[in-house]
Amino acid sequence: MQTFPPSADTWLRLALVVVVLSVSFAGALTAGLIHSDWLNGTNLPPAQPVPFSHQHHVGGLGLDCRYCHTSVELSSEAGLPPTHICMTCHSQLYTGQEMLAPVRRSLAENRPIPWRRVVKLPGYVYFNHAIHVSKGVGCSECHGRIDRMPLTAKAHSFKMQYCVGCHRDPAPHLRPLDQVTDMDWQPPADQQEIGRQLMIERRIDTHRITDCYTCHR
């Protein structure tokens, strides 16, 4: 007596194909989400109390990054600009603009503007802005062409592989120290060789900077 109908084998094969395709689709979907802008927050500017435009201030007016981020060369934190820096110009310019009301209120109440951080690393990751700047890593290497951003967004996901890739081969990312904040700087054709020489001069040891303790302390 036949236990299963003749079509059972066909249905079993079809079921196996459906299972394999479903698993593959789920894997591809998961991988896509992991690397998506939506999940990583890249290219998605968060809402800010003031719609500050780097495109206008940096790209248009030519302000140097260090004018507002005063501690970037000295501290692990780049620092958010205190209100009095904003009012250096805006006590004279656009004084009645409604969008600048939070800036004026901040000054009057002596309270900092509640900016939302665009890039926030996990608490178990140690990052020092000053050491990167002093070694010649340009602002645009990590923050992208911020001078072209009407609203500030995260340019990269800053996953571990992104940082480790640079630490394993820093040469392509090094530039003259006086060009660190220059958004238009372009690497020369022999950048790899120049970068290797800069690594020697600036005592950049890839064995040390790829040690786990460098970023996880």
Q: How far apart are CA 200 and CA 205, in angstroms?
A: 8
Collapsing DSSP states into helix, strand and coil, what is residue 154? Answer: strand
The reply to whether 138 falls in a domain is yes
Q: How far apart are CA 187 and CA 15, in angstroms?
A: 55
Q: Domain of 138? A: 120-215
Average pLDDT over residues 205-216: 96
In the numeric block, the tokens 């900077």 are attached to 209
pLDDT band at 41 (very low <50, low <70, confident <90, very high): confident
The reply to whether 90 falls in a domain is no
What is the structure's pLDDT at 19? 82
The structure tokens listed for 132 are 């990167």
pLDDT band at 27 (very low <50, low <70, confident <90, very high): low
Q: How far apart are CA 132 and CA 163, in angstroms?
A: 12
Q: Is the pLDDT of residue 37 over 70?
A: no
The reply to whether 12 falls in a domain is no
The reply to whether 63 falls in a domain is no
The reply to whether 28 falls in a domain is no
The reply to whether 32 falls in a domain is no
What pTM did the predictor assign?
Answer: 0.80
Structural domains counted in the chain = 1
Q: Is the pLDDT of residue 35 over 70?
A: no
The reply to whether 103 falls in a domain is no
The reply to whether 177 falls in a domain is yes
Q: Is the pLDDT of residue 44 over 70?
A: yes
Amino acid at 195: G
Q: What share of the chain is helix, strand, coil (3-state, %, to 5)?
A: 50, 0, 45
Q: Is the pLDDT of residue 12 over 60?
A: yes
The closest alpha carbon to 112, from 87, 89, 90, belongs to 87
Q: How far apart are CA 216 and CA 210, in angstroms?
A: 11
